[in-house]
Amino acid sequence: MNVFRRLALSAVVSAAVGVPVVGQAQSCGVPPGTDVLLFVDNSSSITNSEFDAAQQAIANIASSVLSRPGYRLAVVNFGCEGGRRSTEDGCRIDLATGSVIPGGWSSNPADFAYAGSNSASNRVCRSFGFGGGPLFQGNNCGGANFSVNIQDDYAQHAYKILDGALFSGGSTGGGDSYGASTLAPATPTQRLMVIHLTDALQNPSGGGTSISTMPASETSLGQYYYSNRMKNVRNAMIVGVGIDDTVANNAQVYLGALSSKGGGSTFYDSAHQAAASTQAYDVGTPRLATYATTYSAAPIIAAADAAFDATVPACVVLRKQSVSGTGSFSFADGTNGLPSSLTLDTTTTNPATSATYLMQFNTDTGIREVIPSGYTLSSIECTNGSGANVPVTSNTSTGQLTIPGSQIVAGAQLTCTFTNTRIQPDFGTCDARMFLDQTNTGATLSTLYNVGYASTPFTYASLGSGAPRNGIGYNQMDNYIYAMEWGGFSGNELVRVGADGSTVNLGVVAGLPVTNYNNGAISPTGDYYLMSGFGGTTLYRVNLTTRVATAVTLSSSITVSDFAWHNGLLWGVNSNAGALVSIDPVSGTVTTIGSSSPVNNAIAMWGFDNGLFASGGSTIYAIDPATGAATLMSTAPGASNGDGANCPGAAIQFDADLSVTKTNTPASGPNDLPTDTYSPGETRTYTIVVTNLSGSFGAQNITVSDPIPTGIDAATVSWSCANTSGGSRCGAASGTGALNDTGLDLPPNAVATYQVTMTVPASFTGDLTNTVTITPPSTVDDTNAANNTATDVDQSAPQLTIRKISIGGVDSFGFTGTNGVVAQTLTTTTAGSPVSGATQALTAAGTATTITESTTPATYQVTDITCTGLGAGGMATPDLANRTVALDAAATAAGANVECTFTNTLRQTDIQVVKTVSPDPVVSDDVVTYQIVVSNNGPQAASNVLLTDVAGVGQDCTTPSTTATCSATGGASCPSPTVPVSSLLGAGVTIPTLPVGGTVTFGLQCTVTASGL
């Protein structure tokens, strides 16, 4: 049984309580709180005379414990019935603070205050009474919860009752033949620490004290089962505080086994060593058990302090620092309490930190950085609270950090720094991007822009910013931009600019004075050229690798605001003259090309493999390297303190639609008419219109080519060019021979007009085809190549040639016609051989036309009309009787070369005239009758036969009649039944028809006026 001793409870609280844990960095913040349960063995440990001192000790312990942020305290008394020693299960518990603290837990030391000896106002009460004589009858709870002797200590059963009460909501009915009601604090909400205050005398021979022994009915569970359960299942830590007779070695062993972190092997018994434990606090040192020969607050506080210090979780401060850039960095896969997902951002705070208290001790702990694109993980290192390096396992390729369990000890503060270095991104590849760098007015920051030229106006998209710089140039050897540091608008330090606009200072350039370098360009071989923005005759060539400058003396003084590289030379606009200049980077020769107006000072220039461009601030122009002429490309946002750069080995193209039209009938529209015709021998003029249909981009040095058509004499060809609208600029104003203008400049929507004149030879035949072609410059991607060519195809106007053939003789024949046929007379010179009239053009193609032999000698008859060279499908319809031929519309189509041959045949037949008279002889005044018989003996029929007669001397044929009679036989016809004698004897009369075998007989009477006839 216990040996009863008076408690000498000290009211002095250990100074260690409430002092910050050694090594705990402020950056870790407040460690997790703890619910501390003071489990007071009242079975024989506190007598009536000691109770007042015990209350003072509890008040002081509460003050110490609750000085720690997040800590709560509750006090529970426990004791066991002496009469149940055989079963070792007669324990009961009572909440000593339940009457004043709802739920039992408090963080206010006043709830545990000492009011005075045996004062009813004392906040901690004792509810155990009666038993053990007058020494153990103290009770200040206002009633007796126990009416039996309370003097034994069966710790394992007490923990069984405590476990059930704590984790069933705070109260439970008794069990194991114990029927009294019990009360415990509410279920802990934080890590639980039990300060087990006991006399701790282990009496295995049947005494009333046993720390390890289980109730008789549960011995099969093994010793320490319920205290181990409290540690392993409830994750509690047990601090053993022994008093009175606990100095005995066996008592130390058992108390050490009950406690968490029992210490060396001599402080465990074999049963505890074999017990399974998953509680992190149950390994390692120091031990959480202490002993005193007298009841005193000091050892209790000392043991609690040791527990607090030994169980402060290790803290890991993840520290993220980024070099040459800032941003967000992610972590994943944290173990032992490190976050499974975490983001640290160095944008506003660099380095950025995050502190985490770990869950368990002596456990390997890891986390992995998800290395962001554009960064390398340079290093991972950890230090302890003293700043000393801690050995860890790390992999900068995968981002994995593992802290060995040996470093995860109580109170440890580890700062693990992940250092990332930004990989300054290059520009990837040499292509046709245009860059503009602008520095703010205070020369404290430069921003790099990508010039968007897919549409107009050009746009500036920010790529990022960095330290101030100027004189940028693109190095196609490594695809970075280089510049000069420009803080305060001057410097001589070389900087590198990344694709994100960042600046990396590479250091001072040897041999380069400090001044305002606001211009620069880099050759395709990587030489960096620049000169003072104040002008002069000194150009510098900088080796980007060695950072050494070499001076090149210029042949004349210039002032330029930017350089561009093009075609092996440096180019700039000399602001002293407003003129484009080229510079030989080897010899230093400066050549003035010509005025670049309106770009009189180019703050930014770009030189591509196929073009040169410049901006004076808000407009970008194409610059002609041959003349200096500036052609508007596009408007753009305003720029100041700017500089341009591009890869000099790339070719650039802008989308534009260049078109050309051609016609010889401009009054009828810009395009060729399908009905256009030409006439050989005429002079023709073509109108060629070249237009930049793009409202976005200009085009410089367009080629306009109009070759001379085959068959046209070049000596007759000339051309001229007019700047029609929109600021167009002809390469040449005029010329002779074939048109080939290679210098036409067209700003957006501009128009230029060419006139081409030529003479068509008289002998020209076939289609007159004339084609003009425009060739865009290499800087233009023509989005519609179909309108880069225009062709004027004119067919010959229908031509007509009249031929005449006379058979049997020669004579003259007259011709007329419609549709512009010019009257003409054709005279044959050789019978049977044709003669041709002049070829003539009909007035209108595709028009029905009639050709008539209007004048035919009486002795000739049209015997044939034929036409060749008719238009496709055309027909010629001859009318021999009327001496005409009718050509239909198809016959006179454009291009037709009609040749119509009229054949006339001399009438050859045997016309016999027989004239008889009666009477015969006659005398004066006789009337004689003449009969004139005209007959056709063949072989051809005759028509329009003219018959004339002459009166003999001494005859008057008008008497007795002025008319003669006419009769016909054999199909012949008379002009009329009677004919005037005057006609017969005068011009003659015409016999209309006289077929072969036909006869016409005329009767004529005359009066004889003289005798002897």
CATH classification at residue 537:
2.120.10.80
Percent of the chain whose predicted confidence (pLDDT) is above 70: 86
Taking the C-alpha atoms of residue 787 and residue 798, their distance in angstroms, rounded to an integer, is 31
- pLDDT band of 48, cuts 50, 70, 90: low
Give the pLDDT confidence score for residue 942 in this predicted structure: 85
- pLDDT above 50 for 331: yes
The verdict on 970 and 983 lying in the same domain is yes
Judge whether 556 lies within some domain.
Answer: yes
The domain containing residue 99 runs over which residues? 33-310
Q: What is the rounded CA–CA span in Å between residue 839 and residue 898?
A: 9
Distances from the Cα of 52 to the Cαs of 6, 9, 46, 115, 116, in angstroms?
12, 9, 9, 10, 8
Same domain, 49 and 188: yes
Confidence of residue 922 (pLDDT cuts 50, 70, 90): confident
Flag whether 180 is in a domain: yes
In a domain, 21, yes or no: no
Kindly indicate the confidence band of residue 940, based on its pLDDT and cuts at 50, 70 and 90: confident
Q: Label residues 3-30 b or e (16+ Cβ within 10 Å = b).
A: ebbebebbeebbeebbeebebbeeebee
Domain for residue 518, yes or no?
yes
CATH (domain of 401): 2.60.40
Strand, helix or coil at 461? Answer: strand
The number of domains in the chain is 6
Q: Is residue 18 part of a domain?
A: no
What is the DSSP secondary structure assignment for residue 641, as one 8-state letter? S
Answer whether residue 537 is part of any domain: yes
If asked whether residues 266 and 139 sit together in one domain, one would say yes
| 271 burial level (CB within 10 Å; 0-12, 13-18, 19+) | middle
Mean pLDDT within 374-396 = 94
CATH code for position 231 = 3.40.50.410
Residue 592 lies in a domain: yes
Check residue 154 and give its pLDDT: 86
Residue 303 has pLDDT above 90, yes or no: no
Is residue 763 domain-shared with residue 816, that is, in the same domain?
Answer: no
- In contact, 603 and 596? CB cutoff 8 Å: no
pLDDT tops 60 at residue 170: no
Question: For residue 263, what pLDDT is reported?
Answer: 44
pLDDT value at residue 1011:
58
First to last CA, the chain: 215
The pLDDT tens digits of the residues spanning 390-449 come to 999 999 999 999 999 999 987 899 999 999 998 899 999 999 999 999 999 888 999 999
From 310, 332, 363, give the residue that closes a domain: 310
Q: Give me the chain's average pLDDT, please.
A: 85
User: How do 677-678 and 860-868 pair as beta strands?
Assistant: unpaired
Residue 137 has pLDDT above 60, yes or no: no
Please tell me whether residues 448 and 392 are part of one structural domain.
no
Domain boundary among 394, 422, 450: 422
pLDDT tens by residue, 597-610: 999 999 999 999 99
Strand partners, 460: 451
pLDDT at 670: 83
The answer, as to whether pTM is greater than 0.75, is: no
CATH number of the domain encompassing residue 753 = 2.60.40.10
Distance CA 517, CA 520 (A): 8
Co-location of 323 and 471 in the same domain: no
- Please write the tens of the pLDDT for every residue from 634-645: 887 776 788 999
Asked if 543 and 473 sit in the same domain, the reply is: yes
224 contacts: CB under 8 Å, gap ≥ 6: 156, 212, 257, 258, 271, 272, 275
Do residue 616 and residue 692 come from a single domain? no
Question: 355 pLDDT exceeds 90?
Answer: yes
Residue where one domain finishes, among candidates 620, 652, 684:
652
User: Would you say the C-alpha torsion 97, 99, 100, 101 has a positive or negative sign?
Assistant: positive
Q: Which residue has the higher pLDDT, 178 or 258?
A: 258
What number is the average pLDDT over the span 134-149? 48
Examine the pLDDT at 286 and tell me if it is beyond 50.
Answer: no
Please tell me whether residues 264 and 346 are part of one structural domain. no
401 lies in the same domain as 451: no
Are 770 and 730 contained in the same domain?
yes
Residue 7: inside a domain, yes or no?
no
Query: What pLDDT, in 10s, does the model give residues 211-270?
Result: 888 888 888 887 888 888 888 788 888 888 876 655 556 666 777 778 876 544 444 444
**What would the mean pLDDT of 177-198 be, rounded to a whole number?**
77
Specify whether 196 is located in the same domain as 286: yes
Rounded Cα distance, 895 and 965, in Å: 58
